Chain A
Amino acid sequence: MARVITVSVVDDDRMLLDGLRTWLAGVPELRLVATAATVGELLGAPEAQLPYGFGRAGYAPPDIVLLDLVLRDGSAPTDNIRRLLRTGSRVLMISTVPDRSRIIEAVRAGADGYLTKDHDLPTLVAAIKDLASGRGALSTELAFACAHDDSPARPRLSPRERQILLDYASGLTLKSAARRAGITVHTAKDYLDRVKAKYQQAGRPTHTKLDLARRVREDSLDAG
């Protein structure tokens, strides 16, 4: 049997947390290990340790954190994502409304997927499994936001990538989108992962020399 995937949820809606707890209890491959109203609460770290704090000692990062896009503590989604990524978890964004500019920001900050809260349990479980296996979680909302991103900082997409993105955003299954483009499903998924990678690449901050050095190191690691 495959390893159990550990999941934490950060959301300030008690009802949603209760609902997710009930939902995930019925899925044997997943284990909900923690719920919290803020990222700080989840990490148990005093705010003073920001931005380089890695959470309190003994914090065991889950494989996946489901993170609500807009938390009531007023924290910036991008900060939340970066804090969670530094602990080693992967981040799946969840939100009530597909707010496109924020979706783009979240992906650029390193989130691996984005779902609106109206999806059913199988979709959520599939997305979590995708993330845990190292791939991006697909959703029409995310594809739509990237396909219609007209911000000046958007990465350049190839016509093929754009085509797959648009078709997937329109609601087609990946299989149908691949058929229309005359490629295999596997290739189509690669295209979508590449789009997400381009966004994350463009979103990596290079403000200081330290960051720059880190980025060069990351790039050489990527190449190797």
Chain B
Amino acid sequence: MADVTGKTVREGVVLALLSLPVRRIRALRGTSGVGSGLQRAQSFMVVATLLYRASHLTVGALAVAQRRSELPLQYAGFAVALGLSALTYGTALRRGWFDRRHIWADALVIGCVLPLALCAWGGVREPPAIAWAMLLGGSASAVAAISLERLHALTVIALLLVTHFIGYQAVGASPAVILGHLNSIVSSAVMTWLFRWYLLRQGRLLDEANARAVAAEAHKARYAERLEHHRALHDTVLATLTTLASGAVDANAPEVRRRCAREAAYLRRLIQQTAAEVHHREIGAALEDAVGSVESLQLRVTAQYHDLPQVPPEVAAALGDAVREALNNVRRHAGTGHAYLTATRDPDARGGALVTVVDRGPGFDPERCVPGLGLRGSVHGRMAEVGGRATVDTAPGEGVRVELRWPG
């Protein structure tokens, strides 16, 4: 009974592990996102602010091109704005989010230095000539609002407001123009911040819903598996125990003892398989079928599984068939009534599987003995079909070791 309780506890642990992703997403709230919903929200914000900046750069290009007579500083200023924008947004597109240093450089150089430099040395004397550079301040404040921490973002916006106020004052802009411009800097920032807040919230909700769905799916799969085990337990262990308890049969009769040993071995393997935290059904189920088929023919199988890898279904089926045939060979030729089966991840091949079937029978001389049809066809042939390999190692008096590797 203690074992059954242990299994329930372990399942509880597994379920707790499944709910971890949900908690992790919650814990990461407010930092750069890891979930797909968060990532998508961020990518969208990068593209949206890029389009905003692109529209400002287009205006700048037209303005600079129209005033060909102006000093080269206008061209240089535009080139700097273009280059810095390319760096900031290029990096963001590549990495999925902005580099804060780029944002600071963008705000300070394009937002603050550029307008002041144009006023001081660019030969600008009237508001329309500086308008394109002022316009860039709007997109600088928009991107700063979503990519910097709150205090930093507010500092950048304040700096932009001050320098732009000074810049427009210097070229003698009317109060209406100045006010309108400052208003656009602030509203750009507010709008992008609101967009970001909304999108991140939606992204987070989406991620949480996804994680819940995945957890529910896994829970359902485990439940189905447990039901299957319960059914198997009902037909075997429970039936045997009930019969023994009724006193109707002699518990010491050889066939009753064999049946008990077989069912104990089944329970033992079941516990081993479900103990692994990452549990891949395919390979375990295929081997279990093979073991079950020979156990009913009076062969005792000591099976040990460790860290079973995930393999394609056809590979699991081939391993199951090859193991069944190897076990049948033990039953027919070893004369010990006992086979050892191990299945593990192949330490030499990534994602590969390593399965051995061993007996302690008389073995044979591999030089003189032509392997029977079973070993050649059903073991070697079956493994070769799926790109695996079977190796038989034996010597007279030393049992037989069949090793199955996939990939071969």
Interface residues of A (CB under 8 A from B): 70, 72, 96-100, 116, 118, 140-141, 144, 148, 150, 167, 169-173, 175-176, 179-180
A104 to chain B minimum Cβ distance, whole angstroms, is 12
| Contact B261–A98 (Cβ < 8 Å) | no
A141 to B341, CA, bound (A): 12
Closest 7 CB pairs of A and B: A171-B340, A171-B358, A176-B398, A148-B306, A170-B356, A144-B304, A170-B342
Provide the residues of chain A in CB contact with B199, threshold 8 Å: none
A164 to chain B minimum Cβ distance, whole angstroms, is 14
Most B C-beta atoms less than 10 A away, residue of A144, A167, A170, A179 = A170
Interface segment among B156-164, B188-196, B226-234, B264-272: the answer is B264-272
Contacts A70-B2, A98-B304, A144-B342 given; indicate if A176 touches B395 (C-beta within 8 A): yes
| Contact B398–A175 (Cβ < 8 Å) | yes
A148 to B342, CA, bound (A): 11
Contacts A97-B3, A171-B340 given; indicate if A116 touches B306 (C-beta within 8 A): no
Most B C-beta atoms less than 10 A away, residue of A140, A171, A172 = A171
What are the interface flags for B6-30 relative to A under an 8 Å C-beta threshold, 1 for contact and 0 otherwise?
Answer: 0000000000000000000000000
| Contact A98–B342 (Cβ < 8 Å) | no
Interface residues on B, range: 20 to 34
The reply to whether the CB of B329 lies closer than 8 angstroms to some CB of chain A is: no
| Contact B399–A148 (Cβ < 8 Å) | no
The reply to whether the CB of B359 lies closer than 8 angstroms to some CB of chain A is: yes
Q: List 10 A-B contacts (CB under 8 A).
A: A70-B2, A72-B2, A97-B272, A98-B304, A116-B268, A144-B304, A144-B342, A170-B356, A171-B359, A172-B399
What are the interface flags for B297-341 relative to A under an 8 Å C-beta threshold, 1 for contact and 0 otherwise?
Answer: 000001010110000000000000000000000000000000111
A61 to chain B minimum Cβ distance, whole angstroms, is 28
A161 to B265, CA, bound (A): 29
User: Which residue on B lies nearest to A141, using beta carbons?
Assistant: B304
A5 to chain B minimum Cβ distance, whole angstroms, is 26
User: Which residue on B lies nearest to A13, using beta carbons?
Assistant: B2
The reply to whether the CB of B39 lies closer than 8 angstroms to some CB of chain A is: no
| Contact B395–A179 (Cβ < 8 Å) | yes
A99 to B306, CA, bound (A): 11
User: Which residue on A lies nearest to B356, using beta carbons?
Assistant: A170
Interface residues of B (CB under 8 A from A): 2-3, 261, 264-265, 268, 271-272, 275, 302, 304, 306-307, 339-342, 344, 356, 358-360, 393, 395, 398-399, 401
Identify which of B264, B341, B356, B398 contacts A173 (C-beta below 8 A).
B398
| Contact B3–A176 (Cβ < 8 Å) | no
B178 to chain A minimum Cβ distance, whole angstroms, is 65
A152 to chain B minimum Cβ distance, whole angstroms, is 16
Provide the residues of chain A in CB contact with B342, threshold 8 Å: 144, 169-171
| Contact B306–A170 (Cβ < 8 Å) | no
| Contact B304–A140 (Cβ < 8 Å) | yes
Most A C-beta atoms less than 10 A away, residue of B302, B339, B341, B395 = B302
Provide the residues of chain B in CB contact with A171, threshold 8 Å: 302, 339-342, 356, 358-360, 401
Provide the residues of chain A in CB contact with B272, threshold 8 Å: 97-98
| Contact A118–B401 (Cβ < 8 Å) | no
| Contact A148–B340 (Cβ < 8 Å) | no
| Contact B271–A97 (Cβ < 8 Å) | yes
| Contact A140–B340 (Cβ < 8 Å) | yes
| Contact A118–B264 (Cβ < 8 Å) | yes
B197 to chain A minimum Cβ distance, whole angstroms, is 43
A185 to chain B minimum Cβ distance, whole angstroms, is 11
Provide the residues of chain A in CB contact with B344, threshold 8 Å: 148
Identify which of B275, B302, B341, B395 contacts A99 (C-beta below 8 A).
B275
